[in-house]
Structure 1
Amino acid sequence: MTPELTALALAGLLQAVQYALFAVPANRELGTGYTSSARDRPPSKPLSLKTARLQRALNNHFEGLILFTLAVVVVTLGQQSSATTQTAAWVYLAARIAYIPAYAFDWQPWRSAIWGVGFLATLAMLVAALI
């Protein structure tokens, strides 16, 4: 398995961890009656600030993971793995790990900077695969 695919697999596991980090407090705060329902109505009370941030960080990773997966597929199927793409894949993963506490604890402006590092790492993979 290429290092890029390994980073992708670990990013998938990170997504599962993020889901648990959000779901456990959300279930405590909203109650399982609501969280196990069809959620046709908004909850009767809002999530706490930290839990809502964890939800947004989770959703943000879903969005970022789409582009990162695309980059890994292009690099892997195009047989363009290189030191650049491998480093970028690990940088992406490190940035996504750092993004969780940065979002949860409102580290301004670092949250945005960390997001930018992960995004640029993904773009670097795509560009490196094309040249």
Structure 2
Amino acid sequence: MLQAFAVLLVFQCLGEGLVFLFGWPVPGPVTGMLLLLAALVAVPRLQDVVESGASELLRHLSLLFVPAGVGIVVAASSGSGQWLAIAASVVASTLVTLAVTALVLQGLMPRKPSAKEEGGHV
């Protein structure tokens, strides 16, 4: 499992380094995960190495949300008096996300021919 964590850390560091070196507007860990994906496709044996560590991380994923939760609680005091704006932005962004997801899903789904296109009568 230590080897799996080392591989994950190496790819994250590679991603951070590339983003810093080239000034890309993408987070380093995202770039690292794309590099890891390319490595997994190129070297399928690497999956066996990474799988144990990744499964262990996923098993304890809820612990990784604790620092974010603490940050929200600490920053909550700076949002006093702005709750209407915060609630409106959360609702609006949720609705926009749902609409965009629905449109993308609709665009990606294969279309079934209608009865008129098949030449049949309804």
TM-score of Structure 1 vs Structure 2, range by shorter chain: under 0.3
* Structure (1 or 2) with the larger CA radius of gyration: 2
Using the size of structure 1 for normalisation, the TM-score is 0.25
Using the size of structure 2 for normalisation, the TM-score is 0.27
Higher RCO structure (Cα 8 Å, ≥6 apart): 1
